[in-house]
Amino acid sequence: MPKRVAVGRVTSDKMAKTRVVEIPRKVRHPKYGKYVRQRTICYVHDENNESAQGDTVKIIESAPLSKKKRWMLVEVVEKSREVDVAAMRAARKQTDEEGLDPVASELTETDAEPAAE
């Protein structure tokens, strides 16, 4: 029997070499006929920690690797474009504390050159 291949989105990358991947699908309700969104959660083995949260990945079914891990990462289809706002604020705060505002330092350097002439 061939191994199943699926494409999903990484929802957690907090474990070492393990990713939690969510595979969304739509299923028709048996009585009412309305399509309902459902999801399948898979624990995926990522040997090189290539993927991150928000990435779209291709996974393949494998022999059991642990209690819940039954899938392996094939490739990262698309990297996430999400911006980590907390990290940006921390970096900006650090540069402000050190007095190294990158935009202001560039402006003062360019302004100082014509004045020296």
- What are the residue ranges of CATH 2.40.50.140 in the chain? 5-78
CATH number of 5-78: 2.40.50.140
Dmax of the chain from CA atoms?
Answer: 83
**Per-residue model confidence as pLDDT tens digits over 29-78:** 999 999 999 999 999 999 999 999 999 999 999 999 999 999 999 999 99
Residue 39 corresponds to which amino acid?
R
Which pTM does this prediction carry? 0.69
